[in-house]
Amino acid sequence: MKPTTFPGGPAPMVANTWVKDMEKIFRALPCIERQKVTFATFTFNDNAQEWWLLTQEKEDIVTKARFLEVFY
């Protein structure tokens, strides 16, 4: 599928494009909510990866809806 990687940062357009790319993949590959979060965060690198590691220490995010809430 070659998903877009997400480096993090304050650019809303980049974040929205990444979310739309992930949603397109999820429509093609049905999976449970936890798998969506795992797959999406697998594409993180740089600042996004560091943010996610810190976020996981505070909260166990298991649904796409909660992930998007925290992400935005």
Three-state SS for the chain is: CCCCCECCCCCHHHHHHHHHHHHHHHHHCCCCHHHHHHHHHHCECHHHHHHHHHHHHHCCCCCHHHHHHHHC
Q: State the 10-residue block means of pLDDT for the chain, 72 residues long.
A: 87 94 93 95 96 95 95 94
Supply the pLDDT for residue 23.
94
pTM of the predicted model, to two decimals?
0.88
Provide the pLDDT for residue 5: 93
